[in-house]
Structure 1
């Protein structure tokens, strides 16, 4: 019975190998001893005993040095273990033994030569194929990659990667860093030994940057369990943590509740306890498949992640990047697959959105590259589309797999995981990105919102807008301490808005990020009868009562405040002293009227507004200077009941 099963498995495996080789002929060797060892090797291969199979293949080749099929099976085994150099050597020996098969197997030689990092040789083999009249590459991605890799290899980018200073790296593997937007703290994954487990245990740790050295702060004991936690991602201020947890071999999640094989979980940082709270399953995003490698935007409003599942049509595993965004209630919307310009026919993984909100870094093996998983960057366009991904180049990308990339706020310095010093032991390193593939430098706007009277923190909506009113980043200030952290491009003029329905709004413009205070305290005045709100950024046409046809940040906030409350207001227009008394009174009255029309257009009932123009009668600064005149040209909003 054993003999029959053994023979049946030999036939099945040989059939697979011959299909792989494009031939239905039996293995060809004139020496029976070689054939017997080859048959034994195919059986061992079918049982997953690859090392043992290689021993018998070597014995077969010792007997028959021209045994083509034995060399090709060796190549296949080496490919499975990603030992590309030995795979290349085996194919070369096979084709040397059977030169007449060279054209038939030329594409295989291109593939293994390319994957071994022998880019110039792969290009030569590809060119050799062009000499055959009836030959063409079936794998066009491979052909494109050979051309790209040869050019990149011969014109490498100059980078100087260095291992992180400090005590973060250890004899264990460290990987998947998650940087705070400030660039001085991070959470990372470490694989540690765990008693009673035959393999490593993944846990989270936190580190901070002190005098250019990364020092361990603590283990995230409130998150870590005896099961694996992986791929952490944090909001820019570190106060929201999204990570991956997977079911164990028993199919359970331990003390967590799961949906699929691997799920996304979220935990919120508790300011009072200085720990993350109990993680909850992001049920709306998880499926029966595999969700992992989350990437929160710096403001926490967007979440990229990787989803993998087996296609019902092809039975192949599909692995793509998805995006979800929060709705007005703070809940995650249905995740949408990123377009084909990002997601290829291969695998995409490890997304990271830089705090500039535009530069999406990710890894892919389905785009032209150096082999394996390469790192790419795509830019979000003004219309919401994504640019064609750009390969980060050689030697950032190599013939191996690259991932775990994070980029600091300056857009140039990057951190990644590599085992280039000791194979199998990943450590965290850093380097500077070439300018062509760098992100935009960002400024951080960090502060706290509080009640001007009680001094208690306020849970307010804080937003950064561009000049046209598009939201660049948004966040709610923390109800426990009022703090927020938002980022924007450091060379961009932005509008800052803070609002809460029970308080007068705050609005200001920042000219780039050069003179930005490290921490800003914003005191909000509670809405009450008799209070006055001074609007300094109502944009009128020059010497006219007509509003400019542009975004009006303060008026938009005023309209929102009135629609969220029942207050009545008096709109008072003021001018500087230029012009006659009569003209200034008329201009200020007409400008108050224009403001009222704006509010009406936004849905505010006219009966809730009174109007008055005071011209230059009530200055708040000297009209002898341009600065004073600018302060006097204002619109005041008085709450009357």
Structure 2
């Protein structure tokens, strides 16, 4: 990992394992002779100019990789078979939120030249790793390690054993996903640059966060060729966040600064300054509606070492922070300090090896309740990069062994700066996820809680004429009746193809409380009626025998209310013998053979379908768009189908109940001439063979 006097807070980028290593050691230039195609002189000059521009940008560092990628892809139109060119395209994708594209370019580079670079198997392993293809990742990591012997074992760039363990942890974690909805905060907050470490003001109406986007004040770039860090603030406007603006000038500096925390009374803001002692925590007081110039924390926090992130307790008397000071177990450890009677911070105490590991810890957050400590770590049972963990304080006042908060919150990339709300129903954190706006984005996590089983009552009801009238009823003094303002959600559940009514279970999930607050059944006509407390947005889960699960957000705020009812119909996809059912929540990018992380929740539902229907046999079919040759796509589509089958078998489904087949691009469902159409054609289908 690169160190400098102006070290940035983004010290946790997973790509230190692969890309920064590559940038330092494997930045081989593509020669003209390797790039030129003898029989194809037309277009060479333009392509060579693009390639030279790309090479210059690539050598600048991670911050220039997106621009380098654009020029590499243009050059590849002239020669798509250059091994080193494919390698560098794969690396650029791996360094982005489009890492799902990396594997195919790296595989192509390796197939063209197994020795294209010394670390090709390491980088391929990392590409499989971040795309959740853990078995292929392990194979490549082992192949990379096998290149070395006793004479050059010291040249190994990474801890291969740790990477393999991360893959094994990942396999365990994705098999037990947590029930959450993860929403990107959107383009009003996030940008194509890194955005992270969000801090919600106690008034809940202001969101402070750190961004490495370009500003008029800071156009220079740091050692990784990304723009310097700046603190932005966005104000809430209804359900949306306003476009962010730079904070008060007094919190700004010429170098890197990041927001860390705000006191619960709103009177202090803690910031990181990358210019001081290699990185230091400062505090600013609120005065006359504005922030004063930040100063060092009184007491023992400041040191000649680096302090990065921190969190302050709700009463303001305890602080948890991250530092690489002398005595650390790893490079970055979590420390704890109290505020003494003179309002000075006491000598920090390392939290010990229960929390800290020989690797790095970052993004510490003490929950307002004071009994839960959230933090990110490269150690423990991380599935790759930094994972978020939680530790609970026991009755002795000590912290228990941390628990990985689970997939899909955690991924093989870095997942950091996790901040749980006081009710433990929602959280904000930063992650590199597919379909983001670029680099690190800020996300909201909504916890759904445990799945609620439907309870049905069949108790015998007495007939009316068996009841003896209660004569006291006529002597009870009438009381004021409250007006019932309860709303009802009504609608029809039907088959998506035939429109026939479906008997289904409907669960309404309160996103703020993260729990099922209402459950109902549709009748034989498909009609349902569920009481809901008020008109707001909910989550909804609809399940029915022989149908795929339906899980979506239910946006009711703007819906029309008629006679205390809100209408919402649901259409379910049926599983029929001989029919094909597209799994809409399984996606593959062009030439991509690995399941995206979003696919596992859908597969878990399919798993339940197979468990509940033990005689059903399925054919799992993979389909691609028409980019690339038929043969390559045939292999790819079959690999996709096989990976789904292997997942289900690994979850306990008998092998005899599943078949897999690849159809390449022979069965398109949309126009392959548009990106939207190609995206639809990259799919997995279930065909029911028997029931």
**TM class by smaller structure:** 0.3 to 0.5
Using CA pairs under 8 Å that are at least 6 residues apart, name the structure with larger relative contact order, 1 or 2.
2
Between structure 1 and structure 2, the one with the greater Rg is 1
